[in-house]
Amino acid sequence: MNIQKYLDEAKKRGIEPYQVSTSLSTEVSVEVYNGEVETQQIGSSQDIGAKGLFEGKQGSFSTDAIDSLTPSLMAQKVLESAKFGKMEKKEDYFKGGLKYKACKKPKNAFQEADLKQLRNAALGLCEEVQKRDERCKKVTIGLSMVSSKSSKFNSLGMKCSDKGKVFEGSIEIVAQSSEKEPRSSFCSFHSMESLDDLISQARKKIDEVISEAVDFFGSHAIETKNYSVVLSRKAVGSLLGTYLGQLNAKSVQKHLSVFEGKLNTQIMSDCLTLKNVPHILSPYSSSYDSDGYPTQDFTFIQNGVLKTYFYSLETANVEGIPSNGCACGGGNGMPCIVEVENGEDSLSDLFKKMKNGLYILSFSGLNSGINGQTLDFSLPCEGYIIEEGEKKSTFSMMVAAGNLKDLFSSVKAVGNDNDIDQQKYIPSMWIESLMVSGK
C-alpha cells in the first residue's frame, strides 16, 4: 500500500490531520451438521477507513473496495462528511513517537491446515459428540483458520500494525429427552498453534457442553429467597462487561458513571484484582488501540481498590495526563483484554466452602436485563443446587436480581479456574448473597 498517496490526497483537500486504518483477513472454514458438511469456504475480506479534520470539523469514511482510485475517493468522502461533522481537536490525533510492545507469540510456529484437514477434523468431532450421548440429536461443529493483518497511519507520523493467525472452533448441540424435551448448549475454543491442538481443546469441552444440555431435562423453579451463590466463569463474564463500561473515562467526565470520584477507593471485594493485559498470548491481543496509541499493561483494580479509568487520547487530554491505551472509538475507553487474578480454590473447593446454595451456570436476557447506568439487574438464570458441597440437582426458570456494585463487593472467594470468555480471562466466584426468585 502506498501510504504517502493517501496522505497526499488528503493534504490536497486541506484535511489535517488525516488518519487511515486498514484490515485484511483470510479464512478457511467448514461447518458440519450431524455428520454432513453444511458449508465450506475459502475467502478473504478487506476494509479501509479514514478520518480527518477540515476547518476543525471531523469527517470519516470507510469502504471494502481498495484499488488505485481509493486514496482520492476516501479523501473526498472524508471532506464531504466533515462539512456536517462535529468540532474535534487536532491534539486528539496521536503523533507517534512511542514504542509499541509486541504481543506474545506461541512457543511453536503456527502450523497451517487446508480445507480437507478442517473438514475431516469437524466430521470426526461431530461423530465423537454423537457417540458420547445418544440424546444429542443435533450436533453442529464449526472450525476455521483465520489470518489477519491490521494497520494505522496518519499525517502526524503515527504508524503501527499487527498480524496474527488462529484456529477457531465451536460446538453447538440440541439434546432431546425421552419426553421429547429439547435443550441446547454451545461452547467455543481456539488454538494459536495447530489444528491438532484445536481438536485437543475441543475434546476438553465435549463433556461440559453435553452436560449443560442433558443435565437440565425436567429442571424447574425453586423457592424464592436469598441464596449463597457460586457464579461460573461464563456467568461472571456476562456481568462484568457492563460493570467495566462504567469505568470509561468519557462516561466519568460526562458525570454518567456511578464510579465518578471513586479513584483509590474500594469498589469491589478485596478478593478481586483486575488487570488490562493486551499483550498476552490471545486472539484478542493488540499492540495499539483505536487511536493508534500503544496499549498498556496495568492493574486497574487492586484488591478491590479502583486505580484508574480507561482513557483514550481525547479523555486523557481533558485531564492533562497520558492515555493508557484503551481507546475503542469515539473517544471512549475500554480495556483490550481483562484478566481477573486467580484465587486459590478449585470450583469444587468453592462448593465445599459454600456448603449449601446455588451454582449459577448462565444468565440470559442480558440486552434488556441490566441497566447500564445504575447497574441494577434482573436476569433469568439456571444452574445447579448445591447441598453439602456437592451438585444435587438442577434448577431453571429463576430470576436473579440485584445491583452489580453490590454483587462484586460481596465476593467471598475466587476460583483458580481462570479461562477465556471472549476478551476476558475470568475465574468462577463465590458470592455471599443473591436474591433469586422462582416459585
pLDDT of residue 128: 96
Cα separation, 215 vs 135, whole angstroms:
11
pLDDT of residue 1: 75
C-alpha triplet 138, 187, 434: angle, nearest 5°: 115
Measured distance between the N- and C-terminal CA atoms of the chain, rounded to whole angstroms: 63
Give the gyration radius of the chain's Cα atoms.
24
Helix (H, G, I), strand (E, B) or coil at 306: strand
Percent of the chain with pLDDT over 90: 96
Helix (H, G, I), strand (E, B) or coil at 253: helix
Q: Mind listing the pLDDT tens digit for each residue in 212-269?
A: 999 999 999 999 999 999 999 999 999 999 999 999 999 999 999 999 999 999 999 9
Q: Mind listing the pLDDT tens digit for each residue in 270-296?
A: 999 999 999 999 999 999 999 999 999
pLDDT of residue 176: 95
pLDDT of residue 365: 93
Q: Does pLDDT of 439 surpass 90?
A: no
Nearest to 189 by CA among 197, 181, 198: 198
Q: Mind listing the pLDDT tens digit for each residue in 353-387?
A: 999 999 999 999 998 999 999 999 999 999 999 99
Angle, helices 195-214 vs 115-132, to 10°: value is 30
Which residues, listed in sequence order, are joined to residue 376 by a DSSP beta bridge? 403
Q: Locate cell 500500500: which residue?
A: 1
Interval 60-87 mean pLDDT: 95
Percent of the chain with pLDDT over 70: 100
Higher-confidence position of 318 and 424:
318
Instruction: Count the Cβ atoms, other than its own, within 10 Å of residue 163.
Output: 11
Cβ distance 184 to 173 under 8 Å? yes
Give pTM, 2 decimals. Answer: 0.93
Q: Does pLDDT of 13 surpass 90?
A: yes
Which residues, listed in sequence order, are joined to residue 23 by a DSSP beta bridge? 47, 150
Maximum separation of any 2 CA atoms in the chain, in Å: 74
DSSP codes of every residue in 172-205: EEEEE-TT--EEEEEEEEEESS-HHHHHHHHHHH
Angle, helices 70-82 vs 3-12, to 10°: value is 40
